[in-house]
Structure formats: structure tokens, C-alpha cells
Amino acid sequence: MIGKARLLTLAAALAAGMVVSGLVSAQERLRVAGNFTLDHSASRAMELFKERVEERSNGGIRVDLFPAMQLGGAVENVDQVRSGTVFAVLASIAYFTRTVPEYEAVSLPFLFDSREQAFKVMEGKVSEIFDAKMADLGFVNLGYGELGFRHVTNNLRPITSVDDFRGMRIRLQPNEVHLQTFRALGANPQSMDVSELYSALQQGVLDGQENPYNIIASRRFNEVQKHFSDSGHFYDFITAVANKRHYDRLSAEHRQIVDEAMQEAMEWQRKTADAEENEWREKLIAAGMEFTPISPDLRAALREATASVVDQLKQRVDPAVIDLVLEETRAAAQ
């Protein structure tokens, strides 16, 4: 027979186990996905977010990270957040423009001259419009990061004139403004997820693509592309987006922890992306790509050739939103 002391010990152990089990079951689990490579500042920002959330929640929240397309490309990640199988995703705003076309207003060609100007606009009055549209679709914006100025690479020729774009089969993100911009330049743009891009370039299905230096280098497009420039035709944002139903179920304390941690992570990512931009460009040159700077005259010609895109966008998006973005852009330049 088991003695009384032994029974008390077993009872205490069982009670302690039930308490631990209850704590484990009560732990909040957040799955966060991204399609950036592990060395990209966005993936490193995900690590910072995880660290801050788990520390500040004292283990009440566990963050499971899935960077580098572990759960599929950006399109799949956005769908996973929409359905709730993933709590949040870090992706380019381009992957939300099909459902929130208002985002295209900050994707206009040659809109911003600096990252500082871009974020003044993105986090100003227009952010309320974007947040409301995203909420209607079941999303919550947690913060914006920098993908950066986008630049053209190709296997045909150096870019020295507008005519050099004529007939170029070039991959773009699923953003209608981006597609219309390159149609205006005489190119043959094609929308494609970045997960398919390397093989399309390698097989010669496409002549070129456009991305920030960090994406060109981290995805090793230098291995399948010869020429690149500093065209800077679009400035692109990363957005951290959560499933609204899951977010709203969090306690007020946990929502605050998540909000503050993501804001800090995105601020870190922006500073890091800025500091590393020239390093990424030099890596491409060192890897053997031919760099051709865009002259001020050519930049002016490109801006003129794509000016009609604003009017085309006003046929799909409330002109008041576009006018607000343009107004805010002018004010942020002062």
C-alpha cells in the first residue's frame, strides 16, 4: 500500500502538472510568415519581433516564424492570413493592391525622391484610408517597413534611353500601376510571384525584372541577369499585416505588446535597410553585373513617358485619394 505521505506527494505533483498544463494550453501562439530570404532585413526584423513579444509577455505569447517562403510565396501567405491559418505576414504592399487598389496611389512612378518623404506620406492622412480598407477585408496593419527603391535588371542591354525598354519581357509585382508604367515605356510586363522569378530568368522566359538592390542580391538574380541600373522608378513598402479576427481576440495587454513590438521591429528594419542599401549594390557589382547609372536627362524622360499613369489610375481609384497622396507628397518634400 502507498503511505499517506506518498499519496500527498503524488497529489501535489499531479496538481502542479495540471497547473503547468493549464499554463501551456493558455499560451497564445502566433504564426508569422514572410517570403524574404533569411539574410534580408525583413526576416531579421521578424526575429526581433519574436524576441520582444515573448520577453514582454513573460511567455504568455509564443511566436512561430516561417520566413524564406517556408509556407509558400507572398500570394499564398496573404491568403493564409486572410483565412486565419497564419496570424501575420510581412510582404510588399503590391500583394494587397488587387483588393485595396488605393495602395496603388503610393506606387506611382517616380513619386518619391527619398525614403523620408515616402514614410511621411505613408504614415500621414492616407494611412487612415488604407487601414479602413484593410479592416473591411479582415486585416489589421501593424506597421510599414522599407522594401526600397526598385531598379531594373535585364539581359538585353544597358538602359541608356527610353527606347531600351521597348519590347523587354520584364517581370513585375501584381500591381496594375506598375504594369501600366512599363507598358507606357513600351515594355512587355508580366506579373509573377517572386518565388517563380529565378527560374523564369534562367530559362530565358523573361528578359528582365525590377527589384530593390537587397532583393536582387539576396535572391541571387545576378546569376541570371547581366545589366542593372539605379532607375529607382518606384518606392516600395513592406507591410506587416495580421488577421483581424485573431488580433481582436487577443487581450488588450497582448495587443499592446504585439503593436509595440512590431513598430519597433519595423523601425529597426527601415534603418537597417537604409544603411545596407549601398552594400547590396556593391555586392552586385562585385558579382559581375554591369551597372549603368541613370542620367538626370533620362530620368526626366522616363518621368514624362509615364506621366499618363496618374490619369489611368484615377479611372479605377477615387481621384480624391490620389490627389491627397500627391498633395501630401508635395508637402513632405518641403
CATH number for the domain spanning 245: value is: 3.40.190.170
Cell numbers for 275, please give them.
Answer: 544603411
pLDDT at 170: 98
6 domain-assigned: no
Residue 321 φ/ψ, nearest 5 degrees:
-65, -45
CB-based contacts of 147, cutoff 8 Å, min separation 6 = 42, 92, 212, 215, 236, 237, 238, 273
Cβ neighbour number for residue 249 with a 10 Å cutoff: 11
pLDDT at 334: 87
pLDDT at 18: 45
pLDDT tens, residue by residue, 151-180: 999 999 999 999 999 999 999 999 999 999
Tens of each residue's pLDDT in the chain, 334 residues: 445 555 444 445 444 454 444 444 469 999 999 999 999 999 999 999 999 999 999 999 999 999 999 999 999 999 999 999 999 999 999 999 999 999 999 999 999 999 999 999 999 999 999 999 999 999 999 999 999 999 999 999 999 999 999 999 999 999 999 999 999 999 999 999 999 999 999 999 999 999 999 999 999 999 999 999 999 999 999 999 999 999 999 999 999 999 999 999 999 999 999 999 999 999 999 999 999 999 999 999 999 999 999 999 999 999 999 999 999 999 999 8
314 domain-assigned: yes
Q: Are 159 and 229 in contact (CB under 8 A)?
A: yes
Report how many domains make up the chain: 1
pLDDT at 278: 95
Domain extent, residue 252, equals 27-332
**What sign results for the dihedral spanned by CA atoms 317, 236, 34, 228?**
positive
2 domain-assigned: no
Cell numbers for 290, please give them.
Answer: 554591369
238 domain-assigned: yes
15 domain-assigned: no
48 domain-assigned: yes
Residue with cell 542599401: 277
pLDDT at 22: 43
12 domain-assigned: no
Amino acid letter, 18: M
Cell numbers for 66, please give them.
Answer: 516561417
1 domain-assigned: no
Give the helix, strand, coil percentages of the chain, each rounded to 5: 55, 20, 30
pLDDT tens, residue by residue, 255-303: 999 999 999 999 999 999 999 999 999 999 999 999 999 999 999 999 9
